[in-house]
Structure 1
């Protein structure tokens, strides 16, 4: 369902638009209505709509100002404009913001339905393309994610289920992944050839290898669909027929079958966990040693705990600098950063794939260890512990700190902060904010902005309303600032400044 909001200063029109169409049948959920642009913007900051039907001529904040301000916080919102014949110049201005849907009043029901259907079709295509790009991106990260999964699973063998659930979506492990084949007597000297031959066999049979080959002390573990006896017998035949120079023993195979993917991987983990040296084999046959690596689970856990337990920002930064030295290979820094995020950066039991991908893209777009350190300073350094309770600060305290330091920014919506700063789902962050603060995000943001405006007026004797508006995040729209200020204090800014002068 796409999230829909209706904005119009005339109550009769708002009500008519709300009732004239069965929005759910079109794939929409009507989440809110607003009577002016100021109210609409607050709702957008809190409720992150996908589509907004809005009038152009409205008091306080007109439709164009609403669009201008909203797309800075969420460029993905689609606007459908409603206006009269005399507002064509406004419509031309709206086109500069990328608005393509413009309907004349009185609104024709069928025209509005056609617009909504078109928007939804476009969104479905965009979502499908985004998913394809996301899947392609995750495939490119498959190997480091597999490393991280095995390392974390080894560290938390007594609590395997939440670890598996966190990685299942990221690794695209199907729920019906129930089979694994254990090949014995595979000597390491011909492991690369063995891995390449296995890949070739499965490709010819059109059977996907669902996880990179795991190797421990002359035994290789293969995870692939083997739901029929015919498949198992054929793979066993082909594997046992493999011969390499110096090979003295014929390979043997044993198939594992469990009722779910989780139980299968738990069984595999139990089998490999007693070995000191575990190898993960890439598609090209090259191997990576899991244990005794800088990104091993105990190293990550110890580093994460040290950073979050440090007394101040300087200590935390120093720890991060010592772990991510400029001389470190970039690929190693990325793996370590990925492990730190997956271990410490998520408070939900199930990691949102979109949020994780946003972080992964940022990590893998970094071209230096310094850039990775800078990014991790958000995820790691700002997570502190209360000395009294030893409780790690929540996303909300980090969010509040960011707001205080960036009040002059116009893009402080909950969605922007969730996707670009905290790397969590916006729905989760919204519920968490209301639970911890007892108010909506927009109310908190406006309160902080107005308190800062009052501080500028009082302590710096500033009477330049345009300058104050810019300083507290209202950009080039002092009129909107004045309306919000009046709503908060009961007086317009100019009158409030006069009362300060008379004190």
Structure 2
């Protein structure tokens, strides 16, 4: 603790210095002054933890000095030193918040006891401040995570995107963005044991060269990372950094993971696109195997070659799988392979590639949770090793039929219903659970569909993003509560699923043209 002495008698100051250095080694005397004005200037300059000051001094007494320092915002703790049993001085000291007094002549034991009490009070104050700071940081982190979840699940709503990023405290002017999605493989009990903080520490360290790194648990064993940079982001450097991150986490935490990396985006509106690319790239771990880093351009290179399998065929196959019509699916596989026979230039590698494309189409609506639940699909079928065993059209066709049958059997085993109006059910669920922290990933897991596919399908069917739909539902409910109840705005904010009143007010004003209080004030009197 840093300590300053203020007394107009030099002998008393020297004596206090000796006693403190001898009996209170936890304190360091950083300065001394001999009147109130000099003490005021010195304490303002040094900002010590503790000041021991005489009351009666020339120019400005100890109480006047304390008042000036309090008015200036000093947080120092004061011990009053006086040989006067004067009630008026004690009363003024109490009014100034002084809790500690020592009478002259000063005894070593009394001095030590008093200073120890003050140090204890300072430590308690600091602990409370740390708690408040930690609570503020936790609230900020949760608000930032909530805003980032919405950003990742948006499509291309520039206005709302800018609002959410501003709410998350992420600068966008002149910035580049990239998204990374980590998924921990295998047994993640260790992850549950020590939590995500050690993982976050490694992410921050491995990507520390970038201006902003925002990371949070996205869903289950998945962690989303948004990287921002004031200028351009070198994609090759980002991939290398992520590869090092994967290696470090395995080496130091014994956790293996697969990673999808989206492309670099030069506008904030592209963040959701980069995240969808990362999510889509990660879905290729069923092909490339676990414990891999998969940049999105590698996937486009893989799937961008010529496709003798038409989109119409793939759509029919998907419909057959949705309806769990085994006969229809087997017939379509037969048609696809007859088409392959008509391509004389296709070699074994090309045939295997086409099978990969068919497999990806077959499972692209399924969530990772579903694939991981089925040993046959998750480990033996959906892998390069599985496909490489078959090098003729006949054997590949038989194998593909087996895969399709296993997918249908899995759906029947888990009571996954036949094709239905998923979007209507999603909208109905959101309309009922709007006050809960519903994410796109949560919905995808609930309705047995991949987040990437749900995001695209929702926009295709409704013409709007999932986040916009949820916002409209919540603000609509907020309007009802403003009209029909006397609840305060912050209470309504919480009831409709928001944790930040300011963010809620901005969204409300965006959709209604006025703030919540103004909306209630302008209601007609009934």
TM-score scaled to structure 2, two decimals?
A: 0.34
Larger relative contact order (Cα-Cα within 8 Å, sequence gap ≥ 6): 1
